[in-house]
Structure 1
């Protein structure tokens, strides 16, 4: 966990209280069933948390799902020690940023928070390859597409400078009209359905294979 006076995005410690019980639950799970070393660690917001088929989708390599709620990147920074340090992961995959934009953060701030997460993750897992799943388009937040595109472009450039792999899930989730394609989304128009997770699985599997992790 970051020190109280160095919370991301200028946040106070109280800003993160809502996630403390959820993050603490990961520690309880770890004590009941110690996680494997060398797993692929998935971190981020509800699109990670709701990836219920994660273990089956990557059966050749152990995985750990440490997504939580409607979290923003800043939350994963604040809890980075609990989310990353215990696991000695073989690789880290982050998906977050959409909630940041929905909360009113400008794309440049989302980029800066991404960079801060990379710094924290490498403190606890310096050898693990790290990938960022781009902010997806979605039906429920169609009006935010310009900000999503800007944030993705900024993060892509930041990732390249920090040897982080940027995995573009945004482009394949668009239809021919450039709008979010409904076939990838659950009924809420925000989260993924089975087809959407199958798409993401293929993209992440390709990355893991390129890293000789499958």
Structure 2
């Protein structure tokens, strides 16, 4: 009996240690793998990669009924995380187009981070995408100016400008500006588009995103 108990606690201890040593967002990526097993994704879909603004867009397919959307956003992720899991996020799919919304959390995790550093993270991700898919369209959605992160807006704006210039110079690449559409007539960010946390969006916010994104969808 003592040996059985010892074996049980040893196995439990090893499992606990293994769980603690897993990298951030490991479970989210495993969930994607399980989802793909249960419901294999079609080829030639539009693949969304990024953070919680995509994760919480649960009904994104309803906004683009004529398209096939595969949403692989996971909340809290940064561009570093997308780079870390690039193989898991890119290799299983054969998309016709990739849209990215990420970068906001990079600054939220480290407010002293410089725009050039986040821009370099994006360039690394873009290069990784091109290893898998050299020719498909890749689009970057501008970092939104979340009211709860107003102190970071200067970094957001500069990073957006760097990525916009980069994407405009690339073949089959585009920059989608959603920040302008989220402002009122006075040029002020509309807080009514956001949930109480002033970070995530209400359906009206996503309607604006959909309007800005639609011309770019293949």
- Scaled to the shorter chain, the TM-score interval is 0.7 to 0.9
Shift of 1:138: 1.1
Query: Which of the pair has more CA radius of gyration?
Result: 2
Matched-pair contact (CA < 8 Å) for 1:111–1:158: no
Equivalent position of 1:133 in the other structure: 141
Shift of 1:177: 4.3
Work out the CA distance in 2 between the residues paired with 1:158 and 1:85: 24
- Larger mean CA deviation between 55-64 and 86-95 belongs to 55-64
Equivalent position of 1:206 in the other structure: 215
Shift of 1:63: 0.7
Equivalent position of 1:191 in the other structure: 200
Equivalent position of 1:4 in the other structure: none
Work out the CA distance in 2 between the residues paired with 1:26 and 1:193: 25
Runs of 4+ in structure 1 over 4 Å off: none
- Find out whether 1:124 has 2:132 as its counterpart: yes
Shift of 1:200: 0.6
Work out the CA distance in 2 between the residues paired with 1:69 and 1:16: 17
- Find out whether 1:54 has 2:60 as its counterpart: yes
Match of 2:155 among 147, 156, 159: 147
Shift of 1:179: 3.4
Query: Judging changes above 3 Å, is the alpha-carbon distance between structure 1 residues 140 and 198 closer, same or farther for their aligned structure 2 residues?
Result: same
Equivalent position of 2:13 in the other structure: none
Q: Residue deviations 1:60-104, cap 9 Å, x none? A: 111100000200011111111111111100100000011111222
Q: Residue deviations 1:25-64, cap 9 Å, x none? A: 1111111111111100000000011111111111111110
Equivalent position of 2:12 in the other structure: none
Work out the CA distance in 2 between the residues paired with 1:121 and 1:56: 26
Secondary structure of residue in 1 paired with 2:125: helix
Shift of 1:16: 7.9
Structure 1, unaligned runs of 5 or more = 1-13
Shift of 1:168: 0.4
Work out the CA distance in 2 between the residues paired with 1:196 and 1:52: 13
- Find out whether 1:157 has 2:157 as its counterpart: no
Structure 2, unaligned runs of 5 or more = 1-19
Work out the CA distance in 2 between the residues paired with 1:162 and 1:70: 28
Shift of 1:115: 0.8
Matched-pair contact (CA < 8 Å) for 1:43–1:67: yes
Query: Judging changes above 3 Å, is the alpha-carbon distance between structure 1 residues 190 and 84 closer, same or farther for their aligned structure 2 residues?
Result: same
RMSD between aligned alpha carbons?
1.7
Work out the CA distance in 2 between the residues paired with 1:60 and 1:102: 35
Secondary structure of residue in 1 paired with 2:23: helix
